[in-house]
Structure 1
Amino acid sequence: MANPDDLPSRAAAGDRAAFGELMRLSKTALFRMVRRYVGDEQEAWDLLQDTYAAAWISIGRYDPHRPFEAWIRTIALNKCRDWSRRRFVRRLVRSGVELSSPEALAVPDGAEPADEQMESSRRLARLNDAIGRLPPHLKAPLLLTAIEGRSQAEAAGILGVSVKAVETRVARARRKLSDALGDRPAAPAPE
């Protein structure tokens, strides 16, 4: 078997098999990120396909000395942002009618009673909905750091912003989520 470290260089040179292997290695984590961003499984699969198609078309511009994962995530985030803009325009055209999107449901493990499973599913649906309503400039750093487990420096590299900008945007996203979910503690009453 070929050395996996050679895959980016081979892919950049137009090797379809190497690009296919990079797709296979990155697909699951990339799908999770896109799914969280758009909130709809079918849309996420479509965007994932668009991402890989755009990456293959642009493979000649890929620098194999940089991490493939950061490059492909940048393309995916751009596809997600484009999708968000198109969705916004569709809402305007449809006079504010919200597009329906299925919510992600937690897979029950059988240990939780049915009422607790329903409450967990509701909380997860509310969280996914709240994440979906975040503005793109707050959503992307939150997903990369909190959901994908990336460092702020990695997120900054993917997004093309400073580490401080990522830190600030994640903090703002968390505040917005807390507000949306009603999780903020009440301010102390004045004495």
Structure 2
Amino acid sequence: MAAVLAGDQRAFTQLMRRHKDSLYRFVRGYVGDASEAYDLVQESFVAAWHALARYDRQRSFGIWLKRIAINKCRDWRRRRAVRAFFYDAEDIDRPGLDIAQPIAAAKEREDELARLDDAIAALPANLKEPLLLSLMGEMSHRDIAEALGMTAKAVEVRIYRAKRALAGALATR
């Protein structure tokens, strides 16, 4: 990290290689779309590069990077909600629109994964973030607590609640 802070782009490239897979898994789980996740991972690395001057040497680079990715995912979710509002408003006014028409799944496995993605996406951020950091970010409760600014016990409780909420959501669908 000292080389990166000194401006060594090759050292930053090495850090990117080391963290890209776990960061992608986390972001993919958060947004539920592979191409959006790829873009958000790139945005996270670019933001990290530009924010190196604000990096706290006392923190782990991986945790700091996950925090940046969380913020990118939150921004993406807000932008998506705004776009959906305007897009849906236009669709509702279209003559002959049948809103209740179901969308057929191509394969049963894809349908199950889509249900899981939807259930995860429906979780409130305070439950979704610790769950995804734990499962896909491969982080300890202590590291998650540091990244999210809470206690390790709070992380444990939120992960438990997220799993219960997912089980309930998947059981009712």
- Counterpart for residue 104 of structure 1: none
1:119-134 equivalences under 5 Å are: 119-134=108-123
Question: Are the counterparts in 1 of residues 22 and 138 from structure 2 also a CA contact under 8 Å?
Answer: no
- Counterpart for residue 135 of structure 1: 124
The more displaced of 146-155 and 82-91 is: 146-155
TM-score (norm 2): 0.82
- SS of structure 2 residue aligned to 1:148: coil
Question: Are the counterparts in 2 of residues 11 and 18 from structure 1 also a CA contact under 8 Å?
Answer: yes
What's the Cα RMSD here?
1.9
Which whole-Å CA distance do the structure 2 matches of 1:50 and 1:16 have between them?
Answer: 16
Which whole-Å CA distance do the structure 1 matches of 2:117 and 2:67 have between them?
Answer: 21
- Counterpart for residue 188 of structure 1: none
* Structure showing greater relative contact order (alpha-carbon pairs closer than 8 Å, 6 or more residues apart): 2
- SS of structure 2 residue aligned to 1:157: helix
Which whole-Å CA distance do the structure 1 matches of 2:44 and 2:90 have between them?
Answer: 28
Question: Are the counterparts in 1 of residues 41 and 69 from structure 2 also a CA contact under 8 Å?
Answer: yes
The more displaced of 138-147 and 30-39 is: 138-147
Which whole-Å CA distance do the structure 1 matches of 2:90 and 2:163 have between them?
Answer: 27
Which whole-Å CA distance do the structure 2 matches of 1:139 and 1:60 have between them?
Answer: 29
Q: Give the paired residue count.
A: 157
Which whole-Å CA distance do the structure 2 matches of 1:141 and 1:97 have between them?
Answer: 35
Identity of aligned residues (%): 48
Query: Would you say 1:86 and 2:86 are equivalent positions?
Result: no
1:39-118 equivalences under 5 Å are: 39-95=32-88, 118=107
Question: Are the counterparts in 2 of residues 14 and 60 from structure 1 also a CA contact under 8 Å?
Answer: no
Question: Are the counterparts in 1 of residues 66 and 147 from structure 2 also a CA contact under 8 Å?
Answer: yes
- SS of structure 1 residue aligned to 2:88: coil
Query: Which one of the candidate residues 154, 166, 174 is aligned to 2:143?
Result: 154
Unaligned runs of 5+ in 1: 1-7, 99-117, 184-191
The more displaced of 164-173 and 80-89 is: 164-173
- SS of structure 1 residue aligned to 2:74: helix
Unaligned runs of 5+ in 2: 92-106
Deviation at 1:46, TM superposition (A): 0.9
Which whole-Å CA distance do the structure 2 matches of 1:45 and 1:25 have between them?
Answer: 16
- Counterpart for residue 180 of structure 1: 169
Q: Cα deviation per residue 1:43-74 (whole Å; 9 max; x = unaligned)?
A: 11111111011111111111234211111111
Counterpart code for 1:163: A
Greater fraction helix: 2
Deviation at 1:158, TM superposition (A): 1.1
Question: Are the counterparts in 1 of residues 31 and 73 from structure 2 also a CA contact under 8 Å?
Answer: yes
Deviation at 1:142, TM superposition (A): 0.4
